[in-house]
Structure 1
């Protein structure tokens, strides 16, 4: 018995369209290399309502009988579950000599099956086609909102999402974006974004400082798919347009490092009604130059003590409103305060520099005062006198931390005073004693040379006396030797 090559043609007749789709299948016994090897074995994305026509033809003349079977998509051969499509149950089945057709006049998802045609004659089964999988187009899977790529602003939100993993065998034609305020009775607002290549949209206008719930669904020719998981997103606070006004200050006490004062101002007026989308939560006090760390102050009036200030310095202060978002109001009008100053304390560790002191000069050094009086020390005033005298001699001022006084008497004890001056006042003195060296001690240890200007050391003095004595003896003895 010869196998009968079978050819299954699958024709789609879409509603209100002329484009037909044909799938040809070959006999299972066809040899490799036959042109049937390149024919597809299924069709995905049949639109609902489409007329589907299966055509099963043989390459030989009949008479043949044709049986149509179907089974779930993805079934394995030889597994029970194949069902025969009978003409009595399917009026669209037509059997004719030399061919057979199976017609589904209005395709829907329930017809998503695998189909097969088997030809037989009085001698038995002559051949069967491969199974054809036909799948209905369905709605897309839900998209997914991507929060890290979503941008929040005060009056709008840029919503981002990823497209569906499965588009339902048909391309996405648009996205529906629904949003509402986070309240059960709030109505849903809808925005439609066309095209499958879009995955971001700016939703505006929105209310600032407001929670919204967003959800997105993809749409194809079949219809809209399921919604994404809802995401709650809050808009930012609105900018504060109006500054505090009538800012005033009354100073109670000022020092070189702090100022205590009373302040008052008219709070910033918000233009919004309830609920207020600006949501002013407080007020800060700072200076125009931003050298003072902002200090929180009560709305309308407060008493403030600013510390850590510089002496004899004027500060321009302002007040501004702030909210929980990134916004602050414009500053208020400017009010000024000024610190005072005081005399610095005495320099510390005033000490003699013995190694640098000579027979005619004294050297000494000191450390800065522990308290500069609120202003940096500018210079140090120096006075000195002999320890045995009463009146001081003014040596002048130095900006450094050491000094040397020259043209002094040797082997003399001097009393030195050093006072810090911060340009506001001169502080108390730090003092020490420094003694000049003796004339001999100033040259002790120097090497001998033949220079006529070399000082005479004690040992050199003894040698010179001995030499002088010998010369005298020689001179006295000369007449004696001359006479004899």
Structure 2
């Protein structure tokens, strides 16, 4: 290469010293006023930026120059086979640096591995493309390849040797005795007889895998075995479809063997998949308008959907209500629902194989238009010492009203405190005598419920009977029974005197008659035998009953046939 000399001058007072740099690396220093830098036999590594600096006590000045040393191209890299056949290989590569002189051509050489004789597949005058087809090769044969570039300066270095092998010839024999088994909805197993490789030519190589080609309705697909075993499974098939199948043997090349015999089979059908686009078109306070579309998977080719089943349940309930069982339409209006309640709706399609995979949605009905609210119990809230009272605020449909619910006691707004506990639409009152006769009601927005009075007995009183009272009642009952026996004897005597056909009965027989006719008491829910005891009126004979009146604290004897409404006179007396 040539020698290159740079000259630099710098003037100033005092006279400046001159410094030389190559890409920030100092090359020379110390000369005053004028200096030169010489590069002997310039080479690629001398390429770069050269700087001359003049320095004195007053400051620094500098100048730069860029040197580009043109040399032959660098070696090519990444030499590979882009495409191969049994008699050719297409090569590709990446050029090295052109070193400031454009590449104007490539040379490609090759040889059969083990040979010392290189052959030229391409010379420099064939252009500067980075691909080359090498033809006239032998099947299933190893070759060595190298490439180098050229520019105006000269030819570069060759690439490293790349070893490549051509493909074998196509297999001359294919598999035989193809059959199928284990046919399911989306898969089928194939088996065949292997190729006798001893009958193949040496340049055909060996079988590496098999190709299973199948088609349905003029749509073709291919699956490959993992290795040379003489069996494989087709997957991802359509349900209820009839397929035609052949199998080819493959070696390392791109060619197939002759095909096997052809077989055909039909896959199974199944129940349908989920319906699609399940949703609602309208949600009201009492209804859900549900809509959906036919399943993408109807269960097989040409399999029809026969109908749909629609079920729903409220909240966390485990019990579903079947709304429609076999409807053909893809919509359902579910009515009679509770406002502001979450519902789960399940829709299931059905075909000839049965009901399929269910799909579900959850929807909450709208809040009802509030026109009235009711407080339960409606009139009196009883509170005992060991049993708090609970009042519930509900809409006219029996659902909780929308929040917030305002509770009032004696017209004052209350919340949980002391004897009162408020939880949304429920108010609980514990025993507290100061709340006796308090008036409670609930309010939502501007709507007010009925008013309920709190009934709390004082601590000194008892809602039951004392021991003395119970003893007095017992004595009264004994006395009453004695009087009843006497009265019955008098009645019987009068009937006998008046010509009636009444058979005399002993006291024991009368007692038995009383027991036999207790169930014939008439309207015994209206009166109590003894007020405050809860003991109902008891018939003593077929047409006679002894009872007490709520307004009279004594015993009354009435002829049931004449005095008691609805009674039937089955006796013979007057």
TM interval, shorter chain, is 0.3 to 0.5
Which protein has greater RCO, CA pairs closer than 8 Å, 6+ apart?
A: 1
So what's the TM-score if we normalise by structure 2? 0.32
So what's the TM-score if we normalise by structure 1? 0.37
